[in-house]
Amino acid sequence: MSRIIVDSIRNSSASSDGITLSSDGKVAFPNTSTGKILQVVHAFKNDSFSDTSGNWTAMSGMSVTITASSTSNKLLFNCDLCYGTNSLQVFRVRLYDGTNEITASRSTASSTANNNGWLADYNKFNGGASDLITNISGSYIHTPTDTNSHTYNLYGYAAGHGIYLNRRGYGTDYGGTSSFSVMEIAA
C-alpha cells in the first residue's frame, strides 16, 4: 500500500493553500466559503388556518424573516404544506417578500394571472374533495437585492373557494403540519 502524507495542498501558482488537513484527518477548504449555509430560518405550523375570502391571502404562520449578509449570496426557500379545499379546486401558492410577490417564482403557463402560482395542486378526490388532505412542496432560489431584513410570506388561493392549512375542508377532525424555511447560501 502506498501513502502520501501532506498537511495541505496548494496550486503552484496560488498564494495560499486550497485544502488543509487537520491532525485528526479532517479536510478543510480555508480559502472559500462558497456553498456554505450561513444561516437557516424555519417556520413550523401545527395548528390550522382557513380562508374562504376567495382572494390571494397570506397563510398565518407561514412566514420567515431573514437578513442576508451579502447581495451576492442566494436564498434557498423550501416549503411543505398540508392542505385541503372545500371543492374540486386547484390550490395555488405564491412567494412574497412582505406584500410584494416574487414574480420570478410564478409560472407563466396560463394566460389568466390568477391561475398561476409558484406551486399548484389539484384536489382531485372523487369521493368528496372536502374530505381530502394532501401535501404540496417546493423549493426556490432567490437573490437578495440588499442586506436589509425581509419577511417572506406564503400566500394561498383556491379560485373563490376555501383553503385550509393543516386540515381538510370538511372539518378539523383530521390534521397535519406545514413548514417553511429559508437558507442563506454563500456565493
Counting residues of the chain whose pLDDT is more than 70, the rounded percentage is 89
Question: 146 pLDDT exceeds 60?
Answer: yes
**Mean pLDDT, all residues of the chain:** 86
Question: What is the band of 109 on the pLDDT scale with cuts at 50, 70, 90?
Answer: confident
Distance set, CA 37 to CA 32, 46, 68, 155 (Å): 12, 26, 12, 26
**Average pLDDT, stretch 167-184?**
90
Residues 117, 108: Cα–Cα separation, whole Å: 8
Question: 33 pLDDT exceeds 60?
Answer: yes
Residue 106 neighbours by CB under 8 Å, 6+ apart: 94, 116, 117, 118
> Over the stretch 57-92, which tens digit does the pLDDT of each residue have?
999 999 999 999 999 999 999 999 999 887 677 889
Domains (range + CATH), the chain: 1-32 (no CATH), 37-185 (2.60.120.1340)
> Over the stretch 41-60, which tens digit does the pLDDT of each residue have?
999 999 999 998 888 999 99
